[in-house]
Structure 1
Amino acid sequence: MRLLSSTSKSLICAFAASVVSVSALAQGWPTKTVTVVVPWPPGGPSDIAARPLSKSLTETLGQSFVIDNRAGGGGNIGTAAVTRATPDGYTLLITSSAPIVINPSLYKKMTFDPLKDLAPVTNLLRVPLVLVAGPSVPAKNLKELMAFIKSKNGQFSYASSGSGTPQHLTSELFASVTKLNMTHVPYKGSAPAIADLLGGHIPIMFDSTIAIMPHIKSGKVRPIAISSAQRSPLLPDVPTFAEAGVRGIESYAWYGLFAPAKTPKDVIAKINAETVKIMKQPEFTKIRAETGSDFVGDTPENFGKFVHAEAARWSKVVKESGATVD
């Protein structure tokens, strides 16, 4: 019988120790404060998911989950920080889809590859976008709006909450499908874009139900069509684009939970299980109802497939529309 060399024994022991270490990390996690990076300004749509989730995780797991808003670069700055963090479950990311599946196609230089450098945990919210017209636009439905835009002979602008956002790309998809000539006017967030829309300085914009619903309810903006496959319970009288006569425009603003790549799978599984459990509780159910989101809690594997499919989809939209970062 051949004896193992001392080197082989050392390697086996080291491997066994690493397996035990990873397992122990998953069982004990969390033993200290967890930082949840949100790569957007405080109070934005991502916070709507991040803050109640962090609060519930703190209460459930007995360790603090602290929000760290790191805005800038269309979400790239905060997201990049997470990709560089130690993959131990103590730095997480909650973000909209932009830096994950849109920015890689829009930005010429990216310091990270979100599909390789991040580990998907679960989707949190998925909300449709609404095309709304401001007080300066006489159109009352999609057909009238399209005719109004065409009558401007290219002298027509639309607002978005920022270059590379789902709002921007959905607008470009709309322009591409309908062959309408419009100029993009990006803003630094939904709030200033909506302010100019209400003031009559910009005629139309796409925005998520999260941001635009209060202004629709107040009657200050007119909803034209919604980007979901079916009508939203929040806006039962607003048609989908397909119902309004334009097919090929289905789009959502989604918000997901990620960890740095190479975070142990057992830790990812525990974060996922605790998060999905919270998503089924009354507080989060209320948030879903108020934002018009379906329940989208999923396994890390399925969420990963969804993210890859979204990246391929928006890459095609960017290429076909010629969209760029302004």
Structure 2
Amino acid sequence: MTDDMSRGPARSGFTRRQMALGGAAFALAAGHSVRARAQSYPTRNITLVVPFTPGGSTDILARLLGQRLEAALKSPVVVESRPGAGGSVGVGSVARAPADGYTLVMGHIGTLAVNPALYPKLTYDPLKSFEPVSGIANVHNMLVVHPDVPAKTLQELVDYAKQNPGKLNYASGGVGSAAHIAMVALSDRAGITMTHVPYRGTAPAVTDLLGGRVQLTFTGAPNLVQHVEAGSMRALAVSGSSRLKAAPTVPTVAESGFPGFEASQWYGILVPAGTPQSVVDLLNAEIKTAMAAPEIAERLSLEGAEVWTNTPAEFREHIGKEMVRWGDLVKRAGIKAE
């Protein structure tokens, strides 16, 4: 009996070793399987959905990234515009797309953080309907006015708006768009009232500002820098925590009498919920590599943007926090979708 007992633990130990080796083999096989799935992707065209009209910051960034991903993945990346309802039409269509990694969407602060509070019957949930892949860029908003507006500083604009409540018309890419929310935040902080004129995208809003049909906008700097340099618009302030390399003489809103103010746009790539983790990880790695190229950082900097990448988990956490922040503002300001 003693002999049997002495052999018992030995057999038990051998079994545990077998289990450990078996588990390691399984993990190794699983790892190879994940890599194999990632290596077989992509085998056909990838569609990158832009939920706004062409010509705005979302479109500019999507095309810039799309070119890089196409080269890295050796597969065509087709940038497709699907505008409507503050971007919710395009984003919602991706939420319903097959979870296979062949349909991506360029999400941003408006579609992911603002729309949930703005549209009570939104067809997607930013956190449940998607797998966040990575952020790609932060874009500073630039407050610009038509040259006919008698204000050369933000404080002069605030004073003029207070003397003429409701007479200044500001353009945005639509109700709940980043430009709309940024101006609401500034108006709330400054205690001024202006009239909102929503458009179906940033490009037509900028066009009407150039034509003098509206007096100002507070939207992504990449859409405005060239017009400011040409003298077609006057820049009063930028929304970030620091000045832009593209416009170093333009102060921040915080420097202009509103300390702590910051309302920049952020952009990132998402895929439908359920997309294989191997595909998400591959896309995350390629996006980080693409955005890390020095020429990309330089180009974004010159246009008033900065590279901003992260892990899928970090991007998800950021979306959640921004939903709370901007959702509270939408409710407090009583903004309603049209």
Tell me the TM-score normalized by structure 1: 0.89
Structure number with bigger Rg: 2
What do you get for the CA RMSD once the two structures are aligned?
2.2
* Counterpart-to-counterpart distance in 1, 2:119 and 2:260: 25
- Please report how far the alpha carbon of residue 64 of structure 1 lies from its aligned counterpart in structure 2 after TM superposition: 1.9
Distance 1:98 1:285 in 2: 23
Match for 1:111 among 118, 123, 129? 123
Following superposition, the deviation at residue 174 of structure 1 comes to 0.9
Aligned to 1:256: 268
Number of aligned pairs?
312
Residue 184 of structure 2 aligns to which amino acid in structure 1? E
TM-score (ref. length: structure 2): 0.86
The answer to whether structure 1 residue 58 and structure 2 residue 70 are counterparts is yes
Aligned partner of 1:76 among 51, 69, 88: 88
Assess, with a 3 A threshold, how the Cα gap between structure 1 residues 241 and 159 changes in structure 2: closer, same or farther: same
Counterpart of 1:239 in structure 2 is 251
Structure 2 letter corresponding to 1:130 = M
* Structure 2: gaps (5+ residues): 1-26
Q: Which moved more, 1:293-302 or 1:40-49?
A: 40-49
Kept after mapping to 2: 8 A contact 1:177/1:248? no
Residue type of the alignment partner of 2:293: Q
Counterpart residue identity of residue 209, structure 1: A
Whether the 8 Å contact between 1:97 and 1:256 is mirrored in structure 2 is no
Change (3 A) 1:55 1:195: closer
Displacement of 1:169: 0.3
The residue that corresponds to 1:288 in the other structure is 300
Moved over 6 A (4+): 16-21
Give the 5 Å matches for 1:294-305.
Answer: 294-305=306-317
Judge which range, 144-153 or 24-33, deviates more: 24-33
- Is residue 2:195 matched to residue 1:186? no
Classify 1:85/1:295 alpha carbon distance in 2 versus 1 (closer, same or farther; 3 Å).
Answer: same
CA 1:193 to 1:32, structure 2 compared with 1: closer, same or farther past 3 Å? closer
Q: What is the Cα deviation at residue 284 of structure 1?
A: 2.3
- Residues 267-300 of structure 1: per-residue CA shift (max 9 Å, x gap): 1111100111111124423432232222212111
In structure 1, the partner of 2:57 is 45
Give secondary structure in 1 for the equivalent of 2:99. Answer: coil
Deviation at 1:167, TM superposition (A): 0.3
CA distance in 2, matches of 1:52, 1:225: 26
Q: Which residue of 2 aligns with 1:146?
A: 158
The range that moved more, 21-30 or 114-123, is 21-30
Q: What CA distance in whole angstroms lies between the structure 1 residues aligned with 2:142 and 2:162?
A: 20
Q: What residue number does 1:10 align with?
A: none
Q: Which stretch has the larger CA shift, 29-38 or 268-277? A: 29-38
1:124 aligned to which of 132, 136, 139: 136
